[in-house]
Structure 1
Amino acid sequence: MEGASPTASNRISQYAVDLRAKARAAVASTCDWLLSHQHADGHWCAELEGDSILQSEYILLLAWLGKERTEIARRCAAHLLKQQEPNGAWTQFPGAPIDVGSSVKAYFALKLTGHDAAADYMVRARNAILEAGGADKVNSFTRFYLALLGQIPFELCPAVPPEMVLLPNWSPINIYRISSWSRTIFVPLSIVWAHRAARDIVEDVSIHELFIRKPEDWPELRCPGLEKPAGLFSWDRFFRTADSGLKLLEKYGLRPLRKRALRQAQQWMLDRFQQSDGPGAIFPPIVWSAIALRTLGYAEDSPEIQYCLDHLERLVLEDGETTKLQPCKSPVWDTSITLRALAAAGLGLAQEPTCRGVEWLLSKEVRVPGDWTNNVDCEPGGWFFEYENAFYPDNDDTSMGIMALADQLAAANITLEVHPGETLANTSVVVGGRGIAEQLAGSSAAMMEQAAAATRRAVAWMVAMQNKDGGWGAFDKNNDAEFLCHVPFADHNAMIDPSTPDLSARVIESFGRLGVTIESPGKLGDTVRRAVAYIRANQLSDGSWFGRWGVNYIYGTWQCLVGLRAVGVPANDPAIEQGKLWLLAHQQACGGWGESCETYEDPSLRGQGSPTASQTAWALLGIIAAGGANLAEVVHGVQYLMDTQREDGAWDEIEFTGTGFPRVFYLKYHYYPIYFPLLALAEWNRATARS
């Protein structure tokens, strides 16, 4: 403040002191809110909200089972009406343009549950769908639902041959070359495709009025963002030719391996029912597994089908007069971030609630092999996202779990550190500390040992999961066969699971929390250095980074700044400076930050959107990590969070700031506007106290 008068400087200093006092009060209020929402066994889990397809696809499943007029179907239909936009459409997130597939499924679900096609809301829906191109423009998954209910022939769905489960791992095309979420859908869907068990419905509830052209004249299916290539050879042409060839073989019954393939697909699916909240622990594969089992001849009251239906029912939430479904549940994720935020606020293992949270998190460590073992040789470790999903731990939850343990221990003056060796075999994780550490060592020695062992396994697992480009994907290693995105079935835009900068930065952030840096020796140091090179290479020219798992460039830039700084990249590094400047340039006049899911469709909109508590918190955390805690813009952002905080300590947020599949499916994490602002305010308090 060069040139400021002593009186002005005193006013500024007093303002800073007052603001920090208010921030501490805001932090305490949010801590109280979170502690009041903790489950009895120690964990946290908020609602995870998706779009209308969850209700409509559930109704379509019920309709295929002959239960479209049940009470739960009626209540789901009522929720669809709540989600309808004023123009009659259904969208991927609030305020988005029409999504034709979502709108067609919602309209069909409403007709099936008895809604009059002449009703005003149905007329508006029909007009919106036709204006957007009609049912002709739906994606492959919607086509399968339409085929199941007799609206189009199965031949117009992409080929999903069960014989693919027979292909060995060394084959360029096999089920382990596609992403885990696609794999858990593909296998049951291949059984459905082979049996083609359609239910005929009465004409009164058909949706042929939404067809502009005959279904056989509908456009080709293609992954969003991919154009039809020119030239004699392309992967697009190759897979369309293969699709036609498979359907021709099907037509003439030339499928000598079909029985063997169906047996193996069935067993593969049933094996993944174990230690899981349903196959894949997410909504789509649970639905398709129920349908697949029924087509295989399982009775509806069989334990296997009831297993699927029961897990779908666990995703149900009652909402007044309506019913909605979640795509899955997020307890490990919510618990890990909550524990980190509480630790930043000073609530560590010395407090009974957070101690219970740590015990619960440790109980969810993965200790059995999963699909990842097909190309990774490593002891099982890490964490998954849901209550149970042992086949599918992921790098995101694993890195967040490590940081939750480290932060909770640190809040109790206990260190959790990696001592890198030349190889992972002679790398150790040790627990140490002073003060309260001695008190805990007597009563919680077993927990300390468990935390250290779980951390060692998690670190080794993530090192083994690093991709050849230096980054990390979510569930698999080197799952980056881009040519598979040209398969007609791949139009859900999630066929592969390649490295992404946001997730890669979170992994190295977790390593940094354990004391690993770009200067560390041995295997761990090499792992971090390769990751830093990958993150640098993926920084955009304007200084931002893409966010695969959160919306979007604000999310990616925050995480990359925090990750790079955690492993010792200095604050004056050009990459850090550019990322910080990009965030500062996109602060809004109110002091907050916001960005829309539309940025996945149109990157020129990056950094723009209605300000939200969660995205403001991400921006603040990124700038603070980059050394900007005392900037006026940060103070303004902190003030924005405090001005918008509710009296009960939480924040309101209607926007979707989570990403499922870019351009296809988005998420609203109901705790994002709670624990991320808490983490940002607590970190700002700590950073400014030091300075």
Structure 2
Amino acid sequence: MTLDNQNESLLSQSANNIRNKDFTLSLNKAINSAKKNLLSKQSNDGHWVYELEADCTIPAEYILMNHFTGEIDNDKEEKIAEYLRSQQNEEGGWSLYTGGNFDLSCSVKVYFALKLIGDEPHEEHMIRAKTMILNHGGAAMCNVFTRITMALFGQVPWRATPFIPAEVIILPKWFPFHINKVSYWSRTVMVPLFVLCTMKPKASNPRGIDIRELFITPPEDELNYFKVTTPLKRAFLVLDRFGRLAEKLVPKFIRQYSIRKCEQWFLARMNEKHGIGGIFPAMVNVYESLVVLGYPKSDPKRKLARQAIDSLLKDNGTSMYCQPCMSPIWDTALVSHALIETENEKNTTTEIKNALDWLKERQLSNEPGDWRIQKPELAGGGWAFQYSNYYYPDLDDTSVVAWAMHRTKKSIYSKSIDRAANWVAGMQSRNGGFGSFDIDNTHYYLNEIPFADHGALLDPPTADVTGRAIALLSLADVEMYEKQINGAIEYLKTEQEENGSWFGRWGTNYIYGTWSVLTALEIAGQDPQQDYIRKAVKYLISTQNDDGGWGESNDSYYPPKIHRPFKSTAFQTAWVLLSLLASREEKNPSVKKAVNYLLSTQLSNGQWYDNSFTAPGFPRVFYLKYHGYSKYFPLWALARYRNILEK
């Protein structure tokens, strides 16, 4: 080698060292800044909770509830109206998520809510909304939930709604439909609806507002409220009509008994000040049922039900919206993971300990729960999603919390981890997968009943929840739970999409599902060179955007199942980065590009910002924006990358 070549080599090496040093400094600065921001948001008792925003259906329903009961708060309603107007799309309607297509049911509810508040039909934004609604078939074409709301306000006849009388609550367990055969969210929503749809009250509606202008055919003359798309739907509609005819034959004492049984069912699950099921739609139905059943405003149960609903309001000064629920357990567990990663699992800081201690106190044990119907012999040990929801702990939160505790290697959490793993293992479904709240909730024919046009009546096993369960069981005791882990992995193999990805039931979408699976397979000790894992990695790398990030819209929940390019987001880029690192792809150029994307998009306050909705509540029906996702997932991913580099 000549002297010139040696000098050139030394200069090149020196330049690389400088670049690497600058990169390391930038990486550390980004991690420290993001960590500082997270720590500043920790509550005094150790937990975190970020905003959880839904589409405009929820705040609109809050307004409709107030006018149903006649309890109008003008100041709050004007703030909510400001929020609803700000979310209107340019063409005039409302979508279920940022950048989504027009949604008829959401738009009808928002229009109705704005009109109840005082917006006049001749105002420009209302004209645009009405035009879009009529161009999409009018209010008669709305989904079942919206038609039930319109029936309560006398805007459509009750024949526009499914026949769901209170007597459903006393059907025997062997009957094709039983309340225990559907998901927890369906149960908590439906049982109070049985009362409303049986008693058929009419809303107080003190301002006498109607929305007849949103119908193409007068609602009383409309004959096509139900779409017949399958022979089974047709059969269920025939049974629906037969039930209406037979309703006159139901003895009065049976009807009164059935209504009382519904009332007793939801009163037992009221969940104190946190509301039934911890979810807004069920809370509203219970509150309206209490009003219809004659509970006075002074009644403690009615007051608690109202308090639970109002606690979901998020006041942003000039505007306000209503959250669908709160996510403190989920947020605190995921922030804990990110912080544990920043310490490379070597140091449990005071902040981490306070967070995990807060979570430890909220682990469930012998409380009543609907999951016990299927597994009465199984000991409790789960966590719920909300501050309190003891009837409905879920496997996803339970797995994520116990996984975080295990990473600290602190014996103080050993019993909590063991109890959680035992409970999760006991909730495995027959096909090897894990659902969110129930076992073997797979009565798929029930998605064809007239009430279930949203297609989310059930809680079957999913790849994302199954992945988290595998992670926990592998960490807790891989030998003890070998059978459950192997069964779950085989389930995941059958659920893998043709392109190599996995469907994301609780996060958007194939990126989320694939992250959930690949990170679990790493913990389970699966060889990343296996064909099915390589196929998943190939899918992720092939969908990287030119800017180095990844993005996926909620449009991907609609057919066809193909990748549709979407702008990069920090949280989805973080999911992919964690997936690739779990698959030992740290030297892949795509990884460095992803890290640079996150470094370049971080804000000066240490956060990242995305306006995208991050998850479905129910795919194609109801979507969510976890405001915390763009704050803790990028930190987790960058810290993981740094830890691998330092090995």
Which residue is equivalent to 2:129? 125
- Structure 1 residues 573 and 178, CA gap change in structure 2 (3 angstroms): same
Contact 1:594 1:607 in 2 (8 A): no
Counterpart in the other structure of 2:502: 545
- Structure-1 residue corresponding to 2:455: 493
2:314 to 313, 317, 325: 317
1:362 aligns to 2:363 (yes or no): no
Tell me which of 405, 430, 442 is aligned to 1:480. Answer: 442
Inter-partner Cα distance in structure 2 for 1:379 and 1:536: 30
Q: Does 1:595 align with 2:552?
A: yes
CA distance in structure 1 between the partners assigned to 2:271 and 2:624 by the alignment: 27
Aligned: 1:344 with 2:344: no
> How many angstroms apart in 2 are the aligned matches of 1:68 and 1:133?
31
Q: What residue is the counterpart of 2:5 in the other structure?
A: none
Kept after mapping to 2: 8 A contact 1:221/1:489: no
- Pairs within 5 Å for 1:257-268: 257-268=254-265
**What secondary structure sits across from 1:659 in the alignment?**
strand
Map 1:28-39 → 2, pairs under 5 A: 28-39=32-43
Amino acid at match of 1:386: Q
| Cα distance change, pair 308–21 in 1 and its aligned pair in 2 (3 A) | same
Residues 418, 476 of structure 2: 8 Å contact kept: no
- Distance (whole Å) between structure 2 residues aligned to residue 595 and residue 114 of structure 1: 38
Provide the rounded CA distance (Å) in 1 between the counterparts of 2:504 and 2:405: 25
Mapped partners of 2:178, 2:17: distance in 1:
63
The residue aligned with 2:351 is: 353
Counterpart pick for 1:511 among 459, 463, 473: 473
Q: For residue 554 of structure 1, report the CA deviation from its aligned partner.
A: 0.7
User: How many residues are matched?
Assistant: 636
1:342-395 Cα offsets, whole Å, 9 max, x none, are 000018764222211111101110121300000012111110000000000001
1:626 corresponds to:
583
Select 1:277's aligned residue among 274, 278, 286.
274
SS of 1:514 mapped into structure 2:
helix
Identify if the C-alpha distance between structure 1 residues 510 and 304 changes in structure 2 by more than 3 Å, giving closer, same or farther.
same
Deviations 1:580-633 (A, max 9, x none): 110000000000000000000134443631110000000101111011012111
Match of 2:483?
526
Structure 1 segment 114-513 matched on structure 2, within 5 A = 114-199=118-203, 201=205, 205-215=209-219, 216-217=221-222, 219-221=224-226, 228-229=229-230, 234-251=231-248, 257-274=254-271, 277-346=274-343, 350-367=348-365, 368-376=367-375, 377-407=377-407, 409-410=408-409, 414=410, 431=411, 448=412, 451-513=413-475
SS of 2:67's partner is: helix
Contact 2:364 2:390 (8 Å CA) reproduced = yes
1:165-204 Cα deviation digits (max 9, x unpaired): 2234444421110010000001000010111001365897
Q: State how far apart, in whole Å, the 2-side matches of 1:87 and 1:334 are.
A: 35
RMSD of the alignment, in Å? 1.9
User: Aligned letter for 1:359?
Assistant: D
The SS at the match of 2:274 is coil
Structure 1 residue aligned with 2:74: 70
Q: Secondary structure at the match of 2:380?
A: coil
Structure 2: distance between partners of 1:349 and 1:10 = 34
Shift of 1:515: 5.4
Amino acid at match of 2:80: C
- Which of 658-667 and 71-80 deviates more? 71-80
Q: Spell out, residue by residue over 1:307-338, the C-alpha distance to the aligned partner (whole angstroms, 9 max, x if none).
A: 11111110011122122110000000000000
Counterpart residue identity of residue 427, structure 2: M
The aligned amino acid for 1:402 is A
Deviation by residue 1:491-550 (Cα, 9 ceiling, x = unmatched): 22210000111110111112233352xxx3x5x100000000000111111111111110
Letter in 1 for 2:354: R
Instruction: Tell me the residue number matched to 1:23.
Output: 27
Deviation at 1:218, TM superposition (A): 5.0
Counterpart mapping for 1:526-675 below 5 A: 526-606=483-563, 608-675=565-632
**Mind listing any 5+ residue stretches in structure 1 that lack a counterpart?**
415-430, 432-447
Q: Is the 8 A contact 2:70 2:204 kept in 1?
A: no
Aligned to 2:4: none
Distance 1:159 1:475 in 2: 27
| CA distance, structure 1, for counterparts of residue 74 and residue 206 of structure 2 | 17
CA distance in 2, matches of 1:291, 1:664: 23
Structure 1 CA distance, aligned partners of 2:290 and 2:84? 28
SS where residue 666 of structure 1 aligns?
strand
Structure-2 separation of matches of 1:634 and 1:666 = 29
- 8 A contact 2:140–2:225 mirrored in 1: no
**What CA distance in whole angstroms lies between the structure 1 residues aligned with 2:232 and 2:17?**
63
SS in 2 for 1:205: coil
> Which stretch shows the higher mean deviation, 41-50 or 375-384?
375-384
Alpha carbons 1:275, 1:389 under 8 Å: kept: no
8 A Cα contact 2:341 2:640, kept in partner: yes
Map of 1:434 onto structure 2 = none
Query: Corresponding residue for 1:428?
Result: none
Assess if the C-alpha contact under 8 Å between 1:620 and 1:637 holds in 2.
Answer: yes
Task: Give the Cα separation in 2 of the matches to 1:39 and 1:221.
Answer: 48
- 122 and 656 in structure 1: CA distance in 2 versus 1, 3 angstrom threshold: same
The residue type paired with residue 19 of structure 2 is Y
Distance 1:290 1:371 in 2: 21
Answer whether contact 1:52 1:106 (CA < 8 A) is retained: yes
Distance 1:252 1:647, change over 3 A: same
AA partner of residue 379 (structure 1): A
Secondary structure, counterpart of 1:458 in structure 2: helix
Deviations 1:197-256, CA, capped at 9 Å, x for gaps: 01365897211111012335253446xxxx712xxxx43122111211221123555566
User: How far off is 1:155 after superposition?
Assistant: 2.5
Seen in structure 2, the aligned counterparts of structure 1 residues 570 and 314 have a Cα distance that, compared at 3 Å, is: same
Q: Which amino acid aligns with 2:266?
A: M
CA contact (8 A) 2:505 2:619 kept: yes
Alignment correspondent of 2:3: none
Report the Cα distance in structure 2 between the residues aligned to 1:255 and 1:553, rounded to whole angstroms.
51
Change (3 A) 1:5 1:554: farther
Residue pair 1:68, 1:113 contacting (<8 A) in 2 also: no
Structure 1 vs Structure 2: percent identity of aligned residues? 36
